[in-house]
């Protein structure tokens, strides 16, 4: 399996302000990558550098083994064989749906062109809307037209810039799954930029979390959630609290909730002070448990309650409990720790995530 996209030590700067710093990653043919991060982290800039809209100030970018960007040289976007789906879709309002989709097709006979456009419209389920104009379509339909248009010229790689951000929250995950199925069926290599982790989980094979212009961690959604590499990733992905702990040995720490063992050595010095990430799903509700905690906050989530609990020491943890266990604020309940992964950071002064 070859590498479709290689980003090697890439930095991008606006004037003297660095926006992306020393980013490296590789995307295999047919896989879907995602750049995930809060707004202003540089993810869109990085995507635009891959597209050729930004020049790189350091490093290089290779598409299908060919160098397309290095300092002082930027192959223009139109010669990169990329497809791009924009945040606002950027459909051409003066062209019909069919002509939007066929816009990037060149060097084809009228008939081939027609067949290709029809095929793509079938793919996204919009054959019936071929003669309509963009303003006549709903947001979801416009999104699919934008996708079909980007795929029409059979690009080497598809770039998606926050493609679902203008959708309703309920629609997003469903659309992300649909798009993923479509891309997988067609064997398209794609890279997605988003700030929405659920979107990233639903769509991507591999996710890179960006913070302040740097890649903090690459991994699958599962890995990022359960084994975040640093405090930034731990905070950005999912919910949780950092609980004070003391290092026992190379794989164990002691906390107020009990001892936690990890699968690998954590590398901290024995009996040093540390902090352990406790996810809400690491805490189980158990009336028979000797460990008691007081409910201080409660959020109803449908299938479950998210309780904020105060422990004896005053520290707080989150706990996800099936929604038929209903407790009032001030109730004392029994809990038990069941952490499959140990995520531990050295003790740090200053604001905790």
Partner 1 sequence: MVQYAVYKCNLGFRGLTASTPTTQSGALHPDPARYRPGDQTADQTGANPGRRSRAWWDWSVLGIALLLSLPVLVVVGFVFVPAGDVWRHLADTVLPDYVTNSLLLMLGVAGGTLVGGVGTAWLVSMCRFPGRGLFEWALLLPMAMPAYIIAYTYTGMLDYAGPLQTTLRDLTGWGYGDYWFPEIRSLPGAAVMLSLVLYPYVYLLSRAAFLSQSLCVLDVSRTLGNGPWRTFFAVALPLARPAIVAGLSLALMETLADYGTVQYFGVSTFTTGIFRTWFGLGNAAAAAQLSALLLGFVFALILLERWSRRDARYHHTSQRESSIRRLSLTGWRAALAFGFCLLPLLFGFLLPATQLGWWSLTVARTSFDAAFLTLALNSLALAAGAALVALLLALVLGYGRRLSPSRRVGAAVRIAGMGYAVPGTVIAVGVLIPFAWIDNSVDTWMRASFGLSTGLLLSGTLVALVFAYLVRFLAVSLQTVESGLGKIRPSMDEAGRSMGLSPGQVLRRIHVPMLRGSLLTALLLVFVDVLKELPATLILRPFNFNTLAVRAYELAADERLADSGPAALSIVAAGLLPVILLSRSITRSRHVQSA
Q: Which of 57, 142, 217, 308 binds partner 1 (CB under 8 A)?
A: 57
94 binds partner 1 (CB under 8 A): yes
73 binds partner 1 (CB under 8 A): yes
> Which residue, 74 or 289, has its beta carbon nearer to partner 1?
74
Considering only CA atoms, give the Rg of the chain. Answer: 24
| Token pair recorded at residue 43 | 């993810």
**Phi-psi group of 319: left, alpha or beta (phi > 0 → left; psi -120 to 50 → alpha; rest → beta):** beta
Residues 8-37 contacting partner 1, CB under 8 A: 13-14, 19
**Residue 128 pairs with which residues in a beta bridge?**
none
- In Å, how far from its chain's centre is CA 249? 34
Handedness of CA 218, 221, 222, 228 (dihedral sign): positive
| Angle between helix 169-186 and helix 139-151 axes, rounded to 10 deg | 20
State in angstroms the smallest separation of the CB of 295 from partner 1.
Answer: 40
User: Is 301 exposed, middle or buried, given 0-12, 13-18 or 19+ CB atoms closer than 10 A?
Assistant: exposed
State in angstroms the smallest separation of the CB of 74 from partner 1.
Answer: 5
State in angstroms the smallest separation of the CB of 84 from partner 1.
Answer: 4
- From residue 286 to residue 325, what is the string marking binding to partner 1 with x (rule CB under 8 A)? ----------------------------------------
According to DSSP, the β-strands at 66-70 and 58-63 are: antiparallel
Q: Which stretch binds partner 1 (CB under 8 A): 20-28, 45-53, 205-213, 334-342?
A: 45-53
Q: Which of 25, 86, 133, 218 binds partner 1 (CB under 8 A)?
A: 86
Q: Which of 87, 96, 132, 347 binds partner 1 (CB under 8 A)?
A: 87
For residue 71, which of 13, 114, 129 has the smallest C-alpha distance?
13
State in angstroms the smallest separation of the CB of 87 from partner 1.
Answer: 7
Count of residues near partner 1 by CB under 8 A: 42
How far apart CA 226 and CA 282 sit, in angstroms, is: 10
| Token pair recorded at residue 112 | 């081939």
285 in Cβ contact with 317 (< 8 Å):
no
131 in Cβ contact with 98 (< 8 Å):
yes
Residues 95-154 contacting partner 1, CB under 8 A: 103-104, 106, 149-150, 152-153
State in angstroms the smallest separation of the CB of 175 from partner 1.
Answer: 19
322 in Cβ contact with 338 (< 8 Å):
no
State in angstroms the smallest separation of the CB of 17 from partner 1.
Answer: 9
> Which residue, 77 or 244, has its beta carbon nearer to partner 1?
77
Q: Which of 4, 31, 44, 255 binds partner 1 (CB under 8 A)?
A: 44
Question: Would you tell me which residues interact with partner 1 (CB under 8 A)?
Answer: 13-14, 19, 44, 48, 51-57, 71-84, 86-90, 92-94, 103-104, 106, 149-150, 152-153, 159
């Amino acid at each position: 399996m070859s590498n479709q996209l290689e980003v090697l030590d890439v930095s991008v700067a606006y004037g003297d302000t660095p926006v992306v710093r020393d980013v490296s990653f590789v995307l295999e043919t047919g896989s879907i990558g995602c750049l995930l991060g809060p707004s202003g982290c540089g993810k869109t800039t990085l995507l635009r550098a891959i597209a050729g809209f930004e020049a790189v100030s350091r490093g290089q970018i290779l598409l299908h083994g060919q160098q397309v960007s290095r300092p002082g040289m930027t192959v223009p976007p139109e010669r990169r064989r990329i497809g791009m789906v924009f945040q606002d879709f950027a459909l051409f309002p003066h062209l019909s749906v069919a002509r939007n989709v066929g816009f990037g097709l060149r060097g084809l006979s009228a008939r081939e062109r027609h067949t290709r456009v029809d095929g793509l419209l079938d793919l996204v389920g919009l054959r019936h809307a071929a003669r309509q104009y963009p303003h006549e379509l709903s947001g979801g339909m416009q999104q699919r037209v934008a996708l079909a248009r980007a795929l029409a010229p059979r690009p080497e790689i598809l770039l998606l810039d926050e493609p679902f951000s203008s959708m309703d929250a309920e629609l997003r995950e469903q659309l992300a799954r649909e798009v993923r199925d479509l891309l997988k069926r067609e064997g398209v290599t794609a890279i997605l930029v988003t700030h929405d982790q659920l979107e990233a989980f639903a769509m991507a094979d591999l996710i890179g979390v960006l913070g302040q212009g740097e890649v903090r961690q690459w991994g699958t959604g599962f890995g990022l959630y359960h084994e975040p590499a640093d405090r930034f990733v731990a905070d950005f992905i999912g919910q949780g609290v950092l609980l004070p702990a003391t290092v026992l040995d190379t794989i164990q720490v002691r906390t107020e909730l009990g001892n936690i063992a990890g699968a690998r050595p954590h590398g901290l010095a024995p009996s040093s002070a540390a902090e352990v990430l406790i996810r809400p799903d690491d805490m189980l509700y158990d009336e028979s448990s000797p460990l008691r905690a007081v409910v201080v906050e409660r959020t109803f989530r449908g299938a479950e309650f998210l309780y904020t609990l105060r422990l004896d020491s005053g520290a707080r943890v989150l706990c996800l409990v099936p929604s038929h266990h209903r407790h009032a604020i001030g109730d004392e309940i029994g809990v038990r720790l069941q952490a499959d992964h140990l995520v531990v950071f050295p003790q740090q002064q200053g604001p905790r995530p």
